């Protein structure tokens, strides 16, 4: 690999980097071995150069925000992990009830900003533990809303490190899918089209949805959110519960007994524990119901 050449370039450009940091530190699931290199660009130019140089040197690249939908292998990642937080968190109001947000901004912060600006339409996203970049990449959604419903456009770097700006209509959005799915691309920022609304009404809706999360989801445990996509005509959590799998455990990986759609890290679960549990749940649900549960969590590598 060309890691040393890449390190030399990063050092010359004064872009922050660290070798062999555990990916677990960057994910909500708290699982994952060392990445060959963790890179933390601090501005747009550094992001472009870090991504472009990694591509030029033919290094595997993975972008990460809050790491809230990721299962990283304990063996690690023999590539470059580019982390957007704590930088790239700017949020601004633009003309026409539009909000601009950089990829490293949390959805929570964007929702709070929209509330304070008396702009509605984003309430569903409050509580989704993702950054803007990750949310756009996977078309994150909850409570009947999806990112595609409010996205106007986004700016991203393609596999060759070239900039593009695309309108939402060109991003091929579907359920937890987009133009970016399974591609080594970098979402840099996005524009959201919202609408004027009463600030108190927005705040009340946000709190209502957050309370639903608190009551129904195992927020006290490390997880990657909903582990499986919703199968057509049913719900993953209902199928898993129907199969008697609530509380089923392999090592420290367990099907939550509070919400069966969440597989949680009870303490020190390994990636092997989690992958075995995912496979077991998929097999049991298929055998008992005929439904195949597709994993929503992104695997690294």
Q: Name the active-site residue from 21, 146, 184, 296.
A: 296
d(CA 248, CA 286) in angstroms, rounded, equals 16
For residue 287, give the nearest of 249, 256, 257, 244 by alpha carbon. Answer: 244
Report how far Cα 233 is from the mean position of its chain's Cα atoms: 25
Q: Name the active-site residue from 68, 178, 226, 256.
A: 226
SS3 content of the chain, % helix, strand, coil (to 5): 35, 30, 40
d(CA 147, CA 155) in angstroms, rounded, equals 15
Residues 6+ apart with CB under 8 A from 245: 255, 260, 281, 284, 285
Residue 6 near residue 54 (C-beta atoms within 8 A): yes
The tokens for 121 are: 């339409």
| Residue 296 known to be catalytic | yes
CA separation (Å) from 89 to 42, 85, 103, 116, 192? 10, 7, 7, 17, 15
| Residue 178 known to be catalytic | no
DSSP string, 28-58: TT----EEEEEEE--SHHHHHHHHHHHHHTT
Spell out a b/e string for 127-139, using b for 16 or more CB atoms within 10 Å of the CB, else e: bbbbbbbbbbbbb
| Residue 56 known to be catalytic | no
Q: Name the active-site residue from 21, 176, 184, 230.
A: 176
Active site residues: 176, 226, 296
């Amino acid at each position: 690999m060309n890691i040393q050449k890449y390190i030399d370039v990063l050092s010359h450009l004064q872009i922050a980097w660290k070798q062999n940091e555990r990916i677990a530190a960057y994910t909500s699931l708290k699982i994952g071995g060392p990445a060959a290199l963790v890179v933390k660009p601090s501005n747009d130019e550094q992001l472009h150069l870090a991504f472009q140089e990694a591509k030029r040197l033919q290094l595997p690249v993975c972008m990460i925000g809050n790491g809230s939908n990721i299962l990283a292998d304990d063996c690690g990642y023999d590539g470059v992990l580019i982390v957007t937080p704590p930088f790239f968190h700017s949020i601004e109001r633009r003309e026409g009830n539009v909000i601009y947000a950089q990829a490293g901004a949390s959805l929570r912060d964007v929702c709070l900003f929209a509330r304070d600006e008396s702009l509605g339409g984003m309430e569903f996203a409050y509580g989704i533990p993702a950054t803007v970049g990750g949310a756009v990449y996977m078309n994150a959604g909850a409570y009947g809303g999806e990112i595609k419903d409010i996205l106007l456009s986004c700016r991203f770097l393609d596999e060759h490190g070239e900039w593009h700006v695309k309108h939402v209509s060109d991003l091929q959005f579907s359920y937890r899918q987009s133009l970016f799915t399974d591609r080594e691309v970098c979402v840099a920022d996005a524009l959201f089209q919202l609408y004027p609304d009463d600030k108190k009404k927005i705040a009340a809706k946000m709190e209502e949805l957050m309370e639903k999360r608190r009551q129904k989801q195992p927020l006290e445990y490390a997880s990657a959110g909903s582990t499986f996509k919703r199968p057509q005509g049913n719900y993953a959590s209902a199928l898993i519960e129907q199969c008697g799998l609530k509380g089923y455990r392999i090592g420290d990986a367990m099907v939550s007994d509070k919400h069966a759609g969440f597989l949680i890290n009870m303490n020190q679960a390994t990636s092997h524990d989690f992958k075995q549990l995912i496979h077991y749940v998929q097999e049991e649900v298929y055998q008992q119901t005929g439904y195949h549960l597709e994993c929503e969590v992104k695997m690294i590598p």
